[in-house]
Structure 1
Amino acid sequence: MNAETVEAALVVAFATRLALDPAEVEPDQAIVDLPGIDSLAMLRVIVDVETVLGIQVPDDTAYAATTVRQLAKLIAEQA
């Protein structure tokens, strides 16, 4: 799986869970700076991505990156 596919799924998942327009989720923006993000929202985003892409993301991966793009790359490498 490529990082671009994962990144697109992450952007949609973050936007959906945080009630944002997908255009408001910049891939190089720090995840902690996304409005409304908390640990529960982050876990829900990961579950959404797992469901959409049919993959499993290790628990520690969700917190191993600081940006959406970095997280997408880590998930793609592990998928």
Structure 2
Amino acid sequence: MHKEEQIVTFETYFDPMLAEIIRAKLEANDIPCFLADENMSIIYPAYNQGGGGIKLKVFARDWERCREIINNDEEMGND
């Protein structure tokens, strides 16, 4: 598997709503992504902290573009 095809963790969130917002924002910019460990953190809230939170997964090739999208998003409070 090429490095660009590897799936990596873009960011980890402890707030399920924020994780969904960021996922939707990336998908709106044509970046394929998914959330890992989301269900566990909702079913077992204590797992959220101990289990490392909700992980937003992206292809390695998209990581830099994801960072640019999030950093340049005025709605997220990143002027």
Choose between structure 1 and 2: higher helix proportion: 1
Same topology, TM > 0.5: no
Question: What's the TM-score bracket when you normalise by the shorter of the two chains?
Answer: 0.3 to 0.5
Q: TM-score, normalised by structure 2?
A: 0.38
User: Structure with the greater relative contact order (CA < 8 A, sep ≥ 6): 1 or 2?
Assistant: 1
